[in-house]
Structure 1
């Protein structure tokens, strides 16, 4: 329904109409790129935290977890 000739605003997930693509359809490449970037940054952070230089650093919040995983690999309890 139009009010004085104005159409409704598109909703972000309006895939059911061809004449109203919404905001998700034109922005899908940016969403894919953002998810790939977040995944890559997460993996890079994990590699940096587990590097030998910082694995035994007391300021590392994952130091206890890394030490426990190393003991499990060696067969110790």
Structure 2
């Protein structure tokens, strides 16, 4: 039986969808990891560690005191 003229198609398995996309998923996860690492290094740099606009300044000061 067709519903509004459409035939029933099988839903693709997640493996079939993810298989051609694995290079993009791997590259995206690597990029997100390194961007977060660079951002953390930039926030903790001495130039911005004492900036009052830095939202992590108190955490940096507490970790530097130990």
State if a TM-score over 0.5 links the two structures: yes
Larger helix proportion, structure 1 or 2?
2
Provide structure 2 residue ranges, at least 5 long, that are not aligned to the other structure: none
Identify the residue that residue 35 of structure 2 maps to in structure 1: 41
Count of aligned pairs: 62
- Root-mean-square deviation over aligned CA pairs: 1.9
Provide structure 1 residue ranges, at least 5 long, that are not aligned to the other structure: 16-21, 73-77
Counterpart secondary structure, 2:55: coil
* TM-score, normalised relative to structure 1: 0.71
2:26 to 17, 23, 32: 32
* TM-score, normalised relative to structure 2: 0.82
Measured after TM superposition, the shift of residue 45 of structure 1 is: 0.1
